[in-house]
Amino acid sequence: MLNRWTFAVALAATVLGPEPTAVAASPEGRIPEMIPVEALDLIGKPAPGFEAPLLNGGSFRLQEHRGSVVILSFWASWCGPCREELPALAALQKSRPDLKIFAVNVDREKSKAQAFLAQVPFDLPIVWDNEATALGQYEVLSMPTMFLIDRNQTLVWRKTGFGRDKGLSELEAQLQGVR
């Protein structure tokens, strides 16, 4: 009787054939290089449009904010640095009413986000991406991750993580060049 490993190897050999270069060879006979990370980067490309509910009712549609500078900050209830970034972004929003800042929560359960908000209150609209639609479109791998989107809805900057030492200084520097 074949075990799973033997079966998987036999299936792969049947599907792929005996020569590994038959699978991935280029016309010159070389194995192609990995796709460079830069090719996967969203910066300079149109911001993926998405629609999601707001945690307190209503809905968010990125397309409705064309003509405004938008900041999306992806966060989760388990994210330690989010406890500092989100209140800092709320303070920035108060001092810069020309910006549209949205906190995009990715918790599957609304109760977890609400428990976080009871401990870390801040005044920003909260987009609830519980199905991870925007999370996938924006290729978010870690929390917090922030995106700066210009008035034409082009992604101009991405930042992962938050530290007390720099705070929002990198974001504020990027805002200088955004039209």
Contact 36, 42 (CB under 8 A): no
Distance separating the N- and C-terminal Cα atoms of the chain: 67
C-alpha 178/C-alpha 157 separation (Å) is: 10
pLDDT of residue 34: 53
Which CATH class, in words, describes the domain spanning 36-176? alpha beta
DSSP assignment, residue 47? P
Distance CA 50, CA 139 (A): 13
| Low-confidence spans in the chain with pLDDT less than 70 | 1-40
Q: pTM for this one? A: 0.78
The rounded distance, in Å, linking the Cα atoms of 94 and 104 is 18
Q: What is the pLDDT of residues 33-83, one digit of tens each?
A: 554 545 458 888 999 999 999 998 999 999 999 999 999 999 999 999 999
What pLDDT does residue 76 have?
98
pLDDT value of position 179: 72
Measured between alpha carbons, how far is residue 137 from residues 32, 45, 159 in Å?
26, 12, 16
User: Residue 30: its pLDDT value, please?
Assistant: 58
The predicted pLDDT at position 9 comes to: 38
Domain ranges of the chain: 1-33, 36-176
